Structure 1
């Protein structure tokens, strides 16, 4: 029949269609990550991609009171209740650290100890996720490509590099069948001064240097964490000087907060597709020049998985489907 002409390329088969499951902004939510892995198998994809922001945002101290009792944010629980609360914390994308009363006081007065506990919790959570992914995808020849976003400290790249199933993307041209993917997790400046931000000029320069390594930009996927400016993908609440949403007529005022550099690069090189994240409330699709651009959105703190199932065929995106579960 000649329909599926297969060629091995970096562990990925080249054929008439290439199927991708993409998500972003899981922010430490264990249940969301597991749903992502399950969906990849359900849709029988050729590759899974996480566009960035693996790390959670909060560290919750659990005070060991002794005698099997624990204090969690003012609520006393026993050992059974503790395990339920730990799992809830994990599913909501937060971290926890178990300390005695002295350790809790040290956290309150020593920022370095908080930073150290946060780092340890992030690394442990990511290693646990990698172990789960390896158990579920070992021997499948289906890669799980992961990038860091603006909220992720760069030392998490070292943890990703420990795995043969979960692979980092930033800094590499990743072959996906006949297509290529480049990734960049830095974003334009935000009000929160997150770990990986750059000026628009720096963003443009870095992304341009990556594009120039592509063999054919028109068949490329631009996996850039920041969405292109002025699209359906970058609408977020307008903030006042105190970083509170501006409300007029009883409604929150929205504004475009994406990257002008990302938009310029897409307009200049016209890739096949752009996959983005960063703006959780702006799930959607749009077109910039000839390129389809996608943002799956995120409700990680509710344990809800948001993703996009994408089918590439020939020189086009044959179909895409937003998934919620």
Structure 2
């Protein structure tokens, strides 16, 4: 983990009222991302925040078979290809157009698949930066300033996504920085406790606790911190997910899926010890909810990215205190 440092130039300083729109787990869905941008304008947000998991999870091959294309067992012509691609992107997936030889090479060489995934992930992130710049080019926040989109990576986001971040992008990296928001500070942390899927960014609870403790010891005042961790705190309304069997299939009893708590015990412990003003989290798509830990309000907007549904939380701060919040779905 890199050295944490306070970052002032891109923060929002000395503002009595600040409107934040927070979302998480967009997973490369073009529709969910564009709805997030549009909602930011509609709610007159001063800051946009994405709390991790921008990357998609699947790469779908489109096989060129001589003027027609085979996609997941279906065959389409050139006229239908654009719609297929649009549907793939809307669901948060990537695609690669290749011939039969190239498809066979992908099947037989994991390195080629990894490289194709990397190219697709970075290209989509670059496109999102361009989309945001275009859609927000004339938008000014309530203080007449150009809006920023603060983001941290989640457990499904490879570190090479940072390599696709343009230096002058509207997107601003939050990990490794303490972001000033009025007299508050935002701390962001994207690693999660171990999952059954061995994703890109997982750490033990001991490592997470050590990292977060180190970060929190660098803030001015813990009670004036917005804690933005991708992993939600353990044993809350925010971390309910299906219990899985040894084959990673949901356990069903009496016709109902059995749920269990899967959040981070270390995140919970940090909240109990430092009592930040607010906790904003993601990771567990099924757990759109709020809760309280030791007096700290914690929230998870949930996610239905594959259906193109946007989930967010509108947060209104006044005089560096939480004035109100609203869950948004659309």
Same fold, judged at TM 0.5 (above) = yes
Q: Partner of 2:80 in structure 1?
A: 81
Tell me whether 309-318 or 291-300 shows the greater mean CA deviation.
Answer: 309-318
- What value does the CA root-mean-square deviation take over the aligned residues? 1.3
Quote the Cα distance in structure 2 between the aligned partners of 1:220 and 1:246.
38
Residue 266 of structure 2 corresponds to residue 261 of structure 1: yes
Q: Partner of 2:211 in structure 1?
A: 206
Alignment gaps of 5+ in structure 1:
1-7
Q: Partner of 1:65 in structure 2?
A: 65
Quote the Cα distance in structure 2 between the aligned partners of 1:116 and 1:206.
31
Asked if 2 retains the 8 angstrom alpha-carbon contact of 1:161 and 1:168, the reply is: no
Asked if 2 retains the 8 angstrom alpha-carbon contact of 1:138 and 1:165, the reply is: no
Matches for 1:1-325 after TM superposition, within 5 Å: 10=10, 12=12, 14-66=14-66, 68-138=67-137, 140=140, 141-325=146-330
Asked if 1 retains the 8 angstrom alpha-carbon contact of 2:150 and 2:171, the reply is: yes
Asked if 1 retains the 8 angstrom alpha-carbon contact of 2:184 and 2:320, the reply is: no
TM-score by length of 2: 0.94
Asked if 1 retains the 8 angstrom alpha-carbon contact of 2:301 and 2:327, the reply is: yes
Asked if 2 retains the 8 angstrom alpha-carbon contact of 1:96 and 1:121, the reply is: yes
Alignment gaps of 5+ in structure 2:
1-7, 141-145
1:120 Cα deviation (Å)? 0.4
1:301 Cα deviation (Å)? 0.3
1:161 Cα deviation (Å)? 4.8
Asked if 1 retains the 8 angstrom alpha-carbon contact of 2:182 and 2:320, the reply is: no
Does the residue aligned with 2:316 lie in a helix, a strand or coil? Answer: strand
Quote the Cα distance in structure 2 between the aligned partners of 1:26 and 1:75.
27
1:131 Cα deviation (Å)? 0.6
Asked if 2 retains the 8 angstrom alpha-carbon contact of 1:130 and 1:163, the reply is: no
1:179 Cα deviation (Å)? 1.4
Tell me whether 134-143 or 300-309 shows the greater mean CA deviation.
Answer: 134-143
Quote the Cα distance in structure 2 between the aligned partners of 1:11 and 1:280.
28
4+ aligned runs moved over 6 Å, structure 1: none
1:316 Cα deviation (Å)? 2.9
Quote the Cα distance in structure 2 between the aligned partners of 1:134 and 1:207.
32
Asked if 1 retains the 8 angstrom alpha-carbon contact of 2:13 and 2:183, the reply is: no
Quote the Cα distance in structure 2 between the aligned partners of 1:322 and 1:57.
26
1:50 Cα deviation (Å)? 0.1
Asked if 1 retains the 8 angstrom alpha-carbon contact of 2:129 and 2:169, the reply is: no
1:256-278 Cα offsets, whole Å, 9 max, x none, are 00000000001111111000000
1:169-223 Cα offsets, whole Å, 9 max, x none, are 0110011122110100000000000010000000001111111111111111000
1:314 Cα deviation (Å)? 2.8
Asked if 2 retains the 8 angstrom alpha-carbon contact of 1:161 and 1:167, the reply is: no
Quote the Cα distance in structure 1 between the aligned partners of 2:102 and 2:277.
52
Asked if 2 retains the 8 angstrom alpha-carbon contact of 1:12 and 1:142, the reply is: no
Quote the Cα distance in structure 1 between the aligned partners of 2:285 and 2:227.
19
Q: Partner of 2:5 in structure 1?
A: none
Does the residue aligned with 2:65 lie in a helix, a strand or coil? Answer: strand
Quote the Cα distance in structure 2 between the aligned partners of 1:11 and 1:312.
15
